[in-house]
Amino acid sequence: MSAIFSDEWMRSFMEQWNAETELTSALADISFSSNIGYGFPDDDQPSGVLVVQNGSATSAGAYNGEELNWDIRASEQQWQKWIATPPGMMGLGTAFASGKMKFKVGDYGAMLKDPRMAGPFIKSFSVMARA
């Protein structure tokens, strides 16, 4: 298994993302397009980036200065825990409220209030588990 958020891991995540029609279709329905960074709280920049256009991932890899719409951070231990057992809405809410998950860019609260985005966000964790 590649190191989480490495170039290779991010490409595998992209393949799994695009294979999950429940995720891509839901995001296509709302014309979701974003650059999503993933990483660790103490790093200056995210480790990996996933580029999503109309719900489908069009590129992924090591972060290389792309402008981000979302920048999601958690400790490596926390990411590994979520990959082993993907969280639900309650688990993610608790992680955000307790500071275990941080958004350096993006509005977590607004996303949670929109079920069209919250459901796919939760689904993305089960997709990570297959990367």
Q: What is the rounded CA–CA span in Å between residue 82 and residue 53?
A: 25
pTM of the model: 0.94
How far, in Å, are 44, 65, 125 from residue 122 at the CA level?
25, 26, 6
Q: What domains are defined for the chain?
A: 7-129 (3.30.1050.10)
**Mind listing the pLDDT tens digit for each residue in 73-119?**
999 999 999 999 999 888 988 998 999 999 999 988 888 778 888 89
**Mind listing the pLDDT tens digit for each residue in 21-79?**
999 999 999 999 999 999 999 999 999 999 999 999 999 999 999 999 999 999 999 99
DSSP state of 43: S
